[in-house]
Amino acid sequence: MDKRIYLYPLWVRIWHLLNAICFLILIISGLSMQYASVEYPIIRFDLAVSMHNFAGVGLLFLYVFFVLSNLFTPNGRFYRIRLKGFTGRLRKQFHYYTNGMFSKQEPPFPVNPDRKFNPLQLVAYVSAMYLLIPVVLITGLALLFPETIIHNVLGWSGIQLTAILHSAIGFILSIFMVVHIYFCTMGKKPGSSFRSMVTGYHE
């Protein structure tokens, strides 16, 4: 009996791949601009700036596509949080991650055609996609057009505060990506989740 579920249509897989490429370019170029010295740059500074700006604009278009697609396709249902009983479901999933999975218990919220994410994943993905990504895009656009930024905020430089917020959210999203990749190894087999983004089928 085939237990595979077709959860990732072609457009989701293409979007996911392009999103990952833009994100990796942003991380590498951002780290180079932030930490590399003049004598030993990871990437030449002017090239890193161009790469960061290009990937940032690409991420913006991909994000707009993501939001519109979730509004007008069935994929949006996976990002809706049902508040009734949600804290109880969160506790149950947390208990599974900290105890149940190590004692070979069945996951409390297995993937099905109407549920792609367990409660903890749902909170993480909704927070990342509908809170953190918009902030990093808005602050990135503001830094790309600094004349739009308020010059002084309670005695602080508006540009400096915007840059700090942009870097901080970018750092959090980088951690999210590392955790995301780690949890992808927890499928039926270590490579199952990665294979899903090629075939479209969750095993």
> Within a domain: residue 167?
yes
Any domain includes 96: no
Render pLDDT for 87-111 as a digit per residue (tens, 0 to 9): 999 999 999 989 988 888 888 998 9
**Higher-confidence residue: 83 or 1?**
83
Report d(CA 176, CA 179) in Å as an integer.
5
Angstrom distance (rounded) from CA 103 to CA 96: 9
Whether 37 maps to a domain, the answer reads yes
pLDDT of residue 2: 54
Of 4-8, 180-184, 190-194, the range with the lowest mean pLDDT is 190-194
Q: Mean per-residue pLDDT for 111-138?
A: 94
Q: Is the pLDDT of residue 143 over 90?
A: yes
Over 90: is that where the pLDDT of 185 sits?
no
- Its domain, for residue 14, covers 5-80+111-202
Query: In percent, how much of the chain has pLDDT > 90?
Result: 65
Residue-wise DSSP of 73-95: SGGGGGG----TTHHHHHHHHHH
Tell me how crowded residue 165 is: count the other CB atoms within 10 A of its CB. 16
The pLDDT value recorded for residue 90 is 95
How confident is residue 85, by pLDDT bands cut at 50, 70 and 90? very high
For the chain, the domain total comes to 1
The pTM of this model reads 0.88
Whether 120 is covered by a domain: the verdict is yes
Instruction: Judge whether 117 lies within some domain.
Output: yes
Domain-located, residue 119: yes
Q: What CATH number is attached to the domain comprising 12?
A: 1.20.950.20
Instruction: Please indicate, yes or no, if residue 87 is contained in any of the structural domains.
Output: no
